[in-house]
Amino acid sequence: VPVGSMQLSSRIRDYTATFEVSDAFVADLAASSDRILVVDEGAWRCHRAGCLAALDPAEVVVLPIAEETKTLESVEALYDRMLERAAKRNMTVVSFGGGITQDITGFMASTLYRGVDWVFVPTTLLAQADSCIGSKTSLNYRHYKNLIGTFYPPSRIHIYAPFLTTQDEPDYFSGLGEVVKLHIMGGEAVASRLEAARPRLLERQPDALLTAVQDSLLIKRSYFEGDEFDTGRRNLLNFGHCFGHAIETATSFAVPHGQAVVLGMILAGMVARSRGLLSDQSERYLLERLLEPAVPSRVSLAGMRDDAVIDGMRQDKKRVGSGLAVVMATDGLEMAKAVDVTEDEAREALARFAAEYPMGR
Ligand SMILES: NC(=O)c1ccc[n+]([C@@H]2O[C@H](COP(=O)([O-])OP(=O)(O)OC[C@H]3O[C@@H](n4cnc5c(N)ncnc54)[C@H](O)[C@@H]3O)[C@@H](O)[C@H]2O)c1
Ligand SMILES: [Zn+2]
C-alpha cells in the first residue's frame, strides 16, 4: 500500500516528500505567494500542456539543461533571473526537473541570501528515486564533476510518477540503475518485489513507478539518516559507484551514470565472489534477476581500457589508505565495504568482466 508522505531529517532542517496521486499540487504551488517558478527545459517541453498547465508561461524561468551547464556561471545567470523577478529573502524557489535542475537550483537557493526556501518537484526517475533526498547540491568545476556544492535539502518535495512517462530511454535506464542498486541494498524481500515489478516498470506504469520510487527512498533514507555528512553507513550507498565512476571516466562519460553503476555492481560481485563472500548461487541470482536486465544491449564499452578503470579507482576521492575501496553485496544481500582491494584483484574482476560482457570491445 503506497504511503502518502515520508518525513526526512537533516542537520539543516526536517523536510517532507509527498507522493501525489494527481497533478492538483502544481496549481497549489502556482497559487502560493512570493514564489519563483523554475522549470527544466525538457520537463517544460513535455509537460507544459499537461501536468504543468497550471503554471503561467509568462512567469516560468525555463532552465537550459546539459551536464556542461551545471556550473557556477549557470547559477550566476539564475541569480540574475531571480533579481529581475524581485527575489526576496522570504520568497520560495519552486523548481521542477531532473538531477541537473536539482543541483543548479538547490545550490542557488542555498546561497542566495545565505539560503531561501526551496520546494523541489523531481521529474526524472533518478531525481525521484534517489537524488531528491540526501541534501546534496553539486556543480561541476572545470573538468571536475560535482567538485563544489552545499548540503541543503528542499523544505518540501512532491513526487508525481506520470512525469516519468516522457523521459528518454537512456535517462530512464540510468535512473533504473540506481533503483536496482537501492533495492539490492534493501535486502532480499524488497529486491524480489522489484524483480516481479520489472515488466510494469519497463512499461512505465505509474503505480509500479510510485511503489519502486517509494521503496527506493525508504531504503536510501535508512542508510543516510543520522549520517548526513558521509561517514560509515552512508558510504555503503557508494555500492556500484567504485567501479562505476571509474567506468564513466574511462569511457569519457559515454556510459550513462546509472548504467555505469549497474556494471559497477557486476564487478563488485566478481570481487566479492573471488573473496569467498558471495556464493555462486547468490551471484547468479543478482546477475540474472536484477543486474543484467537493467542494462540495455546498446550500452557500449568500445575503447575502454582496464588500465584507465584502475586509474580512475585510484583517484576515487573517498579512498583512504593504499588499497582500492569497493562496496559489495555479500551473501544474504548484506552490504560490506572493503578498503584493501588490491589492483590485482580489480584487474582479475575486469578480465572476467571483459570475457563475460564484451559489450563492443
Ligand atoms: N545532488 C545529488 O545528490 C545528485 C545525485 C545523483 C545525481 N546527481 C546529478 O543528477 C544529474 C543527472 O540527473 P537526471 O538523470 O535526473 O537527469 P538530468 O537532470 O541530467 O536530465 C536529463 C534530461 O532529461 C530532461 N528531462 C527532465 N525531466 C524530464 C521529463 N519529465 N520528461 C522528459 N525529459 C525530461 C532534461 O531536460 C534533460 O535533457 C547529474 O548531473 C548528476 O551528477 C545529483
Ligand atoms: Zn549514482
Q: Which ligand is nearest the CA of 240, by number?
A: 2
Q: What average pLDDT values come out for the chain (361 residues) when binned by 10 residues?
A: 82 95 97 96 98 98 95 97 91 98 98 97 98 96 93 98 96 97 97 97 97 97 78 90 96 94 98 97 96 90 95 83 93 95 97 95 88
What CA–CA distance (Å, rounded) separates 105 from 117? 11
Could you tell me the pTM of the whole model? 0.96
> What is the per-residue pLDDT for 225?
86
What CA–CA distance (Å, rounded) separates 193 from 217? 15
Are 77 and 61 in contact by the 8 Å Cβ rule? The answer is no
- The x, y and z cell numbers of residue 103, run together, are 543541483
> What is the per-residue pLDDT for 199?
96
> What is the per-residue pLDDT for 352?
97
> What is the per-residue pLDDT for 1?
41
Out of 41, 47, 60, 65, give the residue to mutate to test ligand 1, the one with the largest number of ligand atoms within 8 Å of its CB.
65
State which H helix or E strand residue 122 sits in.
strand 117-122
Atom of ligand 1 at shortest range from CA of 101: 19
Task: Tell me if 43 CB under 6 Å of ligand 1.
Answer: yes
Backbone angles phi, psi at 6, to 5 degrees: -140, 135
Q: Which ligand is nearest the CA of 132, by number?
A: 1
Radius of gyration of the chain from its Cα atoms, rounded to whole angstroms = 20
Q: Which residues pair with residue 148 across a beta bridge?
A: 139
Out of 40, 95, 166, 213, give the residue to mutate to test ligand 1, the one with the largest number of ligand atoms within 8 Å of its CB.
40
> What is the per-residue pLDDT for 186?
97
